[in-house]
Amino acid sequence: MTTANQGERIQKVLSHAGVASRREGERLLEQGRIQVNGTVVRQPGLRVTARDHIQVDGRPVDRGQRPRHLLMYKPRGCVTTLSDPQGRATVADCLPPGQTRVFPVGRLDYDSEGLLIFTNDGELAQALMRPQTHVPKTYLTKVRGRVDAAALARLRRPFTLEGRLTRPAMVEIEHRTRHTTLRITLTEGRKHQVREMCRRVSHPVLRLRRVTYGPLHDPALRPGQTRPLTSQEVQSLREMTGLEEKGVRK
């Protein structure tokens, strides 16, 4: 273990190793589940070097793990966690065999479906979830009834959710018969935001699909399928989050 500005913060090391996000790493520290060189540590700002031996729940941390980035089409009827105490299906059930130590970036509701990123790259995951990044995400949303011009205008305006104003949404009518399919693009990730928007204009959601995540779009991906991200897709995500200048690795 080191002091001052030597080494890296232990939360960053854990996230790069695919053990936990930085926030989860803080919880592991608080719970006394991390040892460095045989000693339980709880200090969030602790810095470690390559010489330090780190264990989580008694298991050594492999710090030589290569970053992995996957794109999944999350199906309806599963939770966005790697395990569930209630015994429900989880997104882990859709991961290819042998794909361990990757975690989902953000969440989709149990009844929602669509694109979801998995990675062991904690730095990128945190950057994508940072509110200030404003990564655009587009949802094809089938709602009950015929949405008129007044409701469409209301959907585009900010509204108060959990005591804070939302950012304006881009909303267009994709298809309209007895019910309406909307194309909704958000630049923030507030809990149940799309469902709440539609509820407030009296057009409850019937089906919700995330069809783009930043620059990622793959109409060929089917529910439950997963594929690796290409190097170009990872590069685009890093550029979008400011982790990397175009063509220049930081």
Q: Is residue 191 part of a domain?
A: yes
165: containing domain: 136-213
The CATH number that applies at residue 21 is: 3.10.290.10
Number of structural domains in the chain: 3
Q: Is 109 a catalytic residue?
A: yes
Q: Which of 62, 109, 121, 218 is catalytic?
A: 109
What is the mean pLDDT of the segment spanning 170-196? 96
What's the pLDDT score for residue 148? 97
What is the mean pLDDT of the segment spanning 126-142? 92
- pTM here is 0.75
The pLDDT tens digits of the residues spanning 84-94 come to: 889 999 999 99
> pLDDT band at residue 246, thresholds of 50, 70 and 90?
very low
The CATH number that applies at residue 91 is: 3.30.70.580
Q: Is residue 250 part of a domain?
A: no
Residues 99 and 223 in one domain: yes
Residues 140 and 195 in one domain: yes
Q: Quote the mean pLDDT of the chain.
A: 89
Q: Is residue 178 part of a domain?
A: yes
The CATH number that applies at residue 163 is: 3.30.70.1560
What's the pLDDT score for residue 4? 53
Asked whether the beta carbons of 80 and 107 are under 8 A apart, the reply is yes
By percentage, how much of the chain surpasses pLDDT 90?
66
Residues 208 and 152 in one domain: yes
Residues 150 and 96 in one domain: no
What's the pLDDT score for residue 250? 40
The pLDDT tens digits of the residues spanning 56-73 come to: 999 888 776 678 899 999
Residues 163 and 192 in one domain: yes
Residues 206 and 142 in one domain: yes
Residues 126 and 222 in one domain: yes
